[in-house]
Amino acid sequence: MNLFVLLLSAFALLAAPCRSYLTVLQSDEGFSVAYQGRLILEHTISAPVLTVGSGNTSFEQISGNFAIEENVSTAIGLGSFAVVNESDTFVQIVLTSNTAPDLQATINLLVASGASNGSEFDTVIVQAAAIHPLLEKINRLWLKIYAEKSEKIFGGGEQYTYFNLRGRDYPIWTREQGVGRGDGVVANVSNSVADAGGSYHTTYWPQSSFFSSRLYTALIWNNNYMVLNFTATDYHEVFVHSASLTLELDYDNTALGLVQKVYKRAGTQPPLPDWVLGGAILGLEDGTEEALYYYNLAKEAGVNVSALWLQDWSGYIQTAFGHRVYWNWAWNSTFYPGLDEVVQELATDGVRVTVYCNPHLIQGSPMFEEAAAAGHLMRDRDGQIFLLDFGGFYGGTVDVHYTPSANWYAARLSTNIFGLGFPGYMADFGEYTDINMVSRNTELNAEETHNYFPVAWAKVNRLAVQAAGLEGEAVYWMRSGALGAGAAQTLAWAGDQDVDFSTTDGVATTIVAALSLGLSGMGFTHFDIGGYTTQPPMVRTQELFLRSAEYAVFTPVMRTHLGNKPDANHQFYSSNDTLTQFARLTQIHARLKPYTAAFVKETSLLGIPLQRPLFLHYESESQAWNTQEEYLYGRDLLVAPVLHRGQDSVDVYLPRDEWVHLFAVTAAIVGPASLTIDAPMGYPPVFYRRDSEFADLFRSITDEFGLP
């Protein structure tokens, strides 16, 4: 999107005020450009800021996993420079190759001023564009942004392995995040089967934006393949498949101020309904009778239930991977008889029923046939419907890029889901778009068709909600995304973790996911309690189920998932002991609702993520920038979950404040302090700020649910 359009639509443009903005320093050897004293570019003839070139790339797709082979045929650094315009608010530099003088580029830096809710802000726009008589031959560009050695980088969408992205490169290409991830046994087995192992950077929601500890953020509205490269010590490099690149840089004096700018610039979110905050969404399946049986078990045990989640409401098929949903998004009344009446009955308990859908339709199903006949499915380069192999069956993909098809799908989902009284669903997938899939929207190239798909898919879901008039009442949760997707999603979820404690693909990764997404402008997320993917001989243990449930209490939505192999997994109903312990945890979640609701409101309004890194509030403490296994939940709760097998204590950093243990009657601890805290099952290290205005609520939780 064009920045000025954005500024005009969302904010009032100011007449350019007189402040000192851009400054250029130059010598015979090079130049630098700074904004209010903060360096942006540092160029020398021998180490140019800009390289342009050409190449080609293959993207081989198997089940949403991509093998990407990059072939760079030319890459020419543009060393010679001339600063041709130099004012406070506009700088233009022309760069020229020393060896090929007809190869040039311009870099423009301009300051756009705006105001939001009475406060002024500036955005520095950096535009780099190649100039060449045969411009079509230039399709690769590398731009270096000044960096400091000690600088930390966060965001990049939903990253799972490393919270601080510094020292590594991050391809921006939506895909499966991988089973196992890295080079452990699980990933190796996944690789041998379907190239599905994944690595530290593979994610459903890569985002072309980042958040620097130098208190600036960069947003890049470009859906071509890109690599955010943070490996070098003195620069960051953006590599893009394009002859031009635009970065929008926003600055602030505090991390807390900056995260709010990210939110406003990336797009504010539709509201998260209140009803999801008070108890658990129970993932159940296998028909009406089975689902109601477990619901009643839960109810009798005192579980606070906000909703049932019936992902196989449309039917199922059995594949080698496990029990799979039948991808035809309509109520299957033979499999779920009387579900319409169940919706009414459960409403009297204050319990809702939620379902499932994705942008694909199984070949041969009624919706597939309807979509195919009306031209709503994506095609291959020969004009045939593109059938993707989903492991055990084939499916078509709705052309969400093409407005008439997107509208058709939104209307269908709205009728089939909301029309039957289901106020929510998992809106799965969004990452599988093969490079050879063709949309009827001809404005997008093949890479954009792939990378923008999650945003277009999110918009379909929002349209479906709006068509039903249910904004603020309905929820859909998504895993795929890109810059701009947050503005069309009510809630994210962390995708398919393994049912284990691994740091590469287990429960611990969901904290990194929440924190990195939060600094990318998406403040509401949650995860499958106990994980999803079971790859034999892996099984979900009671310990994993309960440890992740006790951590999920401190996320907006506690939702269980039976997993792809329900029988191999410990479930909330697998033992009476689990059921009792789980019930207690859902009661704590329900009890916290007034607190959660207050901060959900703040997140919607301001964009301060619900799960937040410590440094947003304790910026001056270096430890607050280094934690990736603890977080603040709202302003007043500090959560340090148990994330490792057999662990019964947690090393916790408490920043400068007075902290009271939520589950133990002890004196307040004065931070900053690093402590080892005992963590018996059911009592994870969670602290509240003594000065919190919710202290009474917290004390009531200690009284009722604290250690005996």
Ligand X SMILES: *[C@@H]1O[C@H](CO)[C@@H](O)[C@H](O)[C@H]1NC(C)=O
Q: Annotated catalytic sites, by residue?
A: 428, 431, 496
Q: Give the CA distances from residue 664 to residues 72, 95, 659, 688, in Å, rounded to whole numbers and listed in that order.
A: 59, 64, 12, 11
- Which CB atom, from 8 or from 605, has the smaller least distance to ligand X? 605
**Which residue(s) pair with 70 in the sheet?**
57
Q: Which stretch binds ligand X (CB under 6 A): 13-21, 51-59, 555-563, 683-691?
A: 51-59
State yes or no: residue 169 binds ligand X (CB under 6 A): yes
Verify binding: residue 156, ligand X, rule CB under 6 A.
no
- Contact (Cβ atoms closer than 8 angstroms) between residue 382 and residue 359: no
Q: How far is CA 108 from CA 102, 127, 418, 481, in A?
A: 19, 5, 48, 29
For residue 184, state whether it binds ligand X (rule: CB under 6 A). Answer: yes
Q: How far, in Å, CA of 350 to CA of 276, rounded? A: 11
How far is Cα 504 from Cα 183, in angstroms, rounded to an integer?
9
Are 532 and 499 in contact by the 8 Å Cβ rule? The answer is: yes
CB atoms within 10 A of CB 635: 17
Q: Is 239 in the site for ligand X (CB under 6 A)?
A: yes
Q: CB of 188: closest distance to ligand X in angstroms?
A: 4
21 touches ligand X (CB under 6 A): no
Stretch that binds ligand X, among 29-37, 179-187, 626-634, 657-665 (CB under 6 A): 179-187
Name residues contacting ligand X, limited to 206-235 (CB under 6 A): 227, 229, 231-232
Q: Stretches 326-334, 419-427, 505-513, 613-621: which one binds ligand X (CB under 6 A)?
A: 326-334
CB 211, min distance to ligand X, A: 19
Cross-strand bridge partners of residue 693: none
- The region of 35-43, 68-76, 506-514, 650-658 touching ligand X under the rule CB under 6 A is 68-76
Size of the site for ligand X (CB under 6 A): 39
Q: Which is nearer to ligand X, 207 or 627 (CB)?
A: 207
Q: 168: burial class by Cβ within 10 Å (0-12, 13-18, 19+)?
A: middle
- The 3-state DSSP class for residue 688 equals strand
Answer for which of 64, 157, 278, 430 binds ligand X (CB under 6 A) is 278
8 Å CB contact between 248 and 125: yes
Name which of residues 570 to 589 contact ligand X (CB under 6 A): 575-576
Of the pair 1, 605, the CB lying nearest ligand X is at 605
Q: CB-wise, 264 or 401, nearer to ligand X?
A: 264
74 binds ligand X (CB under 6 A): no
- Give CA separation, 406 vs 378, 414, 428, 464, in Å: 12, 12, 16, 10
- Our CB check for ligand X shows the closer of 314 and 510 to be 314
Interface segment toward ligand X; rule CB under 6 A; list 67-75, 610-618, 643-651, 698-706: 67-75
Q: How far is the CB of 238 from ligand X (least distance, A)?
A: 10
Question: Do residues 314 and 328 make contact, with C-beta atoms less than 8 angstroms apart?
Answer: yes
Using CB under 6 A, which of the segments 331-339, 443-451, 513-521, 623-631 binds ligand X? 331-339
Q: Give strand ranges (E) for 220-319.
A: 226-229, 235-240, 244-251, 280-284, 305-310, 316-319
Q: In the set 326, 394, 625, 705, which binds ligand X (CB under 6 A)?
A: 326
141 vs 522, beta carbon nearer ligand X: 141
The token duo for 593 is 């609702």
Give the x/- contact pattern for ligand X in 523-552, rule: CB under 6 A.
------------------------------
Q: What contacts 60, CB < 8 A, 6 or more positions away?
A: 66, 67, 68, 69
Among 178, 270, 279, 322, interactor with ligand X by CB under 6 A: 279
Residues 88-147 that bind ligand X (CB under 6 A): 90, 92, 117-118
Q: Please report whether residue 348 would count as binding ligand X according to CB under 6 A.
A: no
**605 contacts ligand X (rule: CB under 6 A):** yes
Q: 633 has which bridge partners? A: 611, 637
Cβ proximity to ligand X: between 168 and 690 the closer is: 168
Rounded to whole angstroms, the Cα distance separating 385 from 374 reads 12
Task: Return the residue matching tokens 């007809």.
Answer: 102
Task: Decide if 112 contacts 125 (C-beta within 8 A).
Answer: yes
- CA-to-CA distance for 409 and 618, rounded, in angstroms? 45
Q: Binding ligand X by CB under 6 A: which of 23, 32, 44, 85?
A: 85
Strands (E), 576-681: 611-612, 631-633, 637-639, 649-654, 658-661, 669-670, 673-678
Q: For ligand X, which stretch binds (CB under 6 A), given 55-63, 212-220, 425-433, 441-449?
A: 55-63
Among 261, 352, 376, 593, binds ligand X (CB under 6 A): 593
For position 56 contacting ligand X by CB under 6 A, the verdict is yes
Distance CA 71, CA 371 (A): 37
In angstroms, give the least distance from the CB of 231 to ligand X.
4
CA distance 321 to 399: 27
The correct pick among 60, 88, 120, 183 for binding ligand X (CB under 6 A) is 183
- The mark string for 365-404 relative to ligand X (x by CB under 6 A, - otherwise) is ----------------------------------------
Asked if 192 interacts with ligand X (CB under 6 A), we say: no
Rounded to whole angstroms, the Cα distance separating 702 from 708 reads: 10
Give the side-chain half-sphere CA count within 13 A for 228.
25
Binding site for ligand X (CB under 6 A): 56-58, 69, 71, 73, 84-85, 90, 92, 117-118, 169, 183-185, 188, 227, 229, 231-232, 237, 239, 278-279, 304, 315-316, 326, 328, 332, 334-335, 575-576, 590, 593, 605-606
